[in-house]
Amino acid sequence: MPEVTARGVRFHVQTMDPVGHAPAADLRDGAGPGRRAAQGPPVVVFVHGLVIDNLSSFYYTLAGPVAAAGARSVLYDLRGHGRTERPSAGYGAAEAVRDLFAVLDALGHRGPVHLVANSWGGVVALNAALARPSRVAGLVLIEAYGPSERPGAWIEDLLNTLGRSALLLEHERVAERYRALGWRRGARMAATADALINGTSLLDDLAVAEPVGPAALASVACPVLAVYGQHSDVMDAGRLLLRTVPGCTLHVMAGYAHTVLREGTAELLEVLLPWLAHHAGTRVPVAGGAR
C-alpha cells in the first residue's frame, strides 16, 4: 500500500499520473499563484469528508477524469480515516492543515496545488488556503463546511448526528450485531466509525472548531469554485462564499442535496473540468467525454 509518514502518522496516499502533458503555454490564469507552476503538470489534491468517508469517494469519481485531463491527481486518507493510521488525537482543522502540507512535502509537492474538497474536507482546504496562500493555487469546494457567520452553531447538526452515532455505536454494539448477521461491509464501517468517534478526540476537536467568517473569506486570494446541491443543509456556506470571496464562482446543482459527489458526478465534472482547464491549465474536455 502506498503510504508516506508525515508528522509521525502513516498516511495512505494514491497518485494518478497525468495523461499526456499540459503545455505551459496553456496556463491561462493570470491572477493566482498557479501561473508559477509552469514546470510540470498541475497537481490537484483531493480532500475527503468525515468518519465513513475516505479517498475512495474521489478515486472512483473525479480523480481519474482530472488525471485524464492532464493533472497529477493526489489522494490521501485523512488521519484516522480509510487506510491511514488512527492516532488518538489531532483531529481539528489546524492539525488537518498541517497534515495536508506535511503529506505534500513528503510527496515532494512543494509548489502551489489545487485543492478539491468535499464536505468537511472543505474546512481543511479553506483553512489551508488562508494559512499558506503561496501553496494553494485554487480551491474547489463541494458541499463544503467552513464558511459561516454563526460561530458556535455552524456545525451543530453535524455534531448532533455524530453524537447520536457515538451513543448508538457504543451501546447498541452495531459492529458486533452486523458481524453476527454476516454483514461484513456494514460491520467494518461501523467498527471504523466507532473507533474514530468513540476512540479518538475527534468529537471534542470538532466541538471547538471555528468557522471561517466573512473577513477571512474576503482575504482568500485564489480562485474558488463552490458547488452545492439545491437542497443542501450547507447551502448557506455556498451563498456566503459567493458573497465574500473575491474570485468565487458558485454552481448550484438542481435536485441534489449533500451527496452531489456520489450522485451527481457527471454534472460535477462538466463544471469542474472546464474550471480546472481555465485556472490550472489542464486540457479542456471534449464534449461528452466526461461520464
Interaction between residue 262 and another protein (CB under 8 A):
yes
Alpha helix (H) ranges present in the chain?
Answer: 56-59, 63-68, 93-107, 121-131, 156-171, 174-181, 184-199, 202-207, 214-218, 235-244, 260-263, 265-280
- Residues in contact with another protein, total (CB under 8 A)? 27
Residues between 103 and 132 that touch another protein (CB under 8 A): none
Residues between 154 and 173 that touch another protein (CB under 8 A): none
**What's CA 206's distance to the chain center, in Å?**
16
Cβ pair 196, 81 in contact under 8 A: yes
Cβ pair 111, 132 in contact under 8 A: no
Please count the residues of the chain. Answer: 291
| Out of 69, 70, 77, 281, the residue judged to bind another protein by CB under 8 A | 77
Least distance (Å) between residue 3 CB and another protein: 11
168: Cβ contacts below 8 Å, ≥ 6 apart: 174
| Out of 21, 150, 184, 231, the residue judged to bind another protein by CB under 8 A | 184
Least distance (Å) between residue 5 CB and another protein: 18
Cβ pair 196, 80 in contact under 8 A: yes
Interaction between residue 49 and another protein (CB under 8 A):
no
Interaction between residue 9 and another protein (CB under 8 A):
no
Across 143-155, b (16+ Cβ under 10 Å) vs e yields bbbbbbeeeeebb
**What's CA 30's distance to the chain center, in Å?**
25
Query: Which of 63-71, 87-95, 140-148, 150-158 is the region at the interface with another protein (rule: CB under 8 A)?
Result: 63-71
User: What cell numbers appear for 117 in the block?
Assistant: 474538497
Cβ pair 46, 32 in contact under 8 A: no
Interaction between residue 67 and another protein (CB under 8 A):
yes
Least distance (Å) between residue 25 CB and another protein: 26
Strands 224-229 vs 248-253: parallel, antiparallel or unpaired: parallel
| Out of 4, 9, 11, 14, the residue judged to bind another protein by CB under 8 A | 14
Secondary structure (3-state) at 37: helix
Nearer to another protein, 85 or 149 (CB): 85
* Interatomic CA distance for residues 100 and 161, integer angstroms: 26
Contacts with another protein, 203-242, as mask; x by CB under 8 A: ----------------------------------------
| Out of 65, 146, 147, 281, the residue judged to bind another protein by CB under 8 A | 65
Nearer to another protein, 148 or 192 (CB): 192
Query: Which of 51-59, 89-97, 220-228, 275-283 is the region at the interface with another protein (rule: CB under 8 A)?
Result: 51-59
Which residues of this chain interact with another protein, rule CB under 8 A? 1-2, 14, 16-17, 54-57, 59-61, 64-65, 67-68, 77, 82-83, 183-185, 188-189, 262, 265, 291
